[in-house]
Amino acid sequence: MRRPPAASTFSYSFGPGPVTPAIKALMAANVVAFLLALVAPAMTLYLGLRPASVLQNLYVWQLVTYMFLHAGVFHLLFNMLALWMFGVELERMWGSRYFTKFYLVAGGGAALTTLLLSLTPLPFADTLYGSLTVGASGAVYGVLLAYALYFPHRPIYLYFVFPIPARYFVLIIGAISLLASMGGQGGGIAHTTHLGGLLAAYLYLRGGRTHLLADVKYRYLKWRINRMRRRFDVYSGGRADDVNRRVH
At 207 the pLDDT is 79
Is residue 163 within a helix (H) or strand (E), and if so which, with residue range?
strand 162-165
Judged by DSSP in three states, 158 sits in strand
Angle between helix axes 137-150 and 212-231 (nearest 10 degrees) is 40
Q: Is the pLDDT of residue 3 over 80?
A: no
Q: Is the pLDDT of residue 1 over 90?
A: no
Classify domain 21-221 at the CATH topology level.
Rhomboid-like fold (1.20.1540)
- How far apart, in whole angstroms, are the C-alpha atoms of residue 188 and residue 86? 24
Chain centroid to CA 83: how far?
6
Report which residue type is found at 176: I
Per the CB < 8 A criterion, the answer to whether 166 and 140 are in contact is no
φ, ψ of residue 46 to 5 degrees: the values are -85, -30
What's the mean per-residue pLDDT of the chain?
80
Q: pLDDT digits over 191-212, tens only?
A: 788 889 999 999 999 875 445 4
Is residue 155 within a helix (H) or strand (E), and if so which, with residue range?
strand 155-158
Region 42-63: mean pLDDT is 94
Least confident of 10-19, 36-45, 162-171: 10-19
- CA angle 114/117/118 to nearest 5° reads 85
11 Cβ contact list (under 8 Å, min separation 6): none
Q: Is the pLDDT of residue 187 over 50?
A: no
Per the CB < 8 A criterion, the answer to whether 99 and 22 are in contact is yes
At 247 the pLDDT is 40
Q: Is the pLDDT of residue 153 over 80?
A: yes
Q: What are the residue boundaries of the structural domains of the chain, listed by start?
A: 21-221
pLDDT class for 248, splitting at 50, 70, 90?
very low
Region 212-216: mean pLDDT is 53
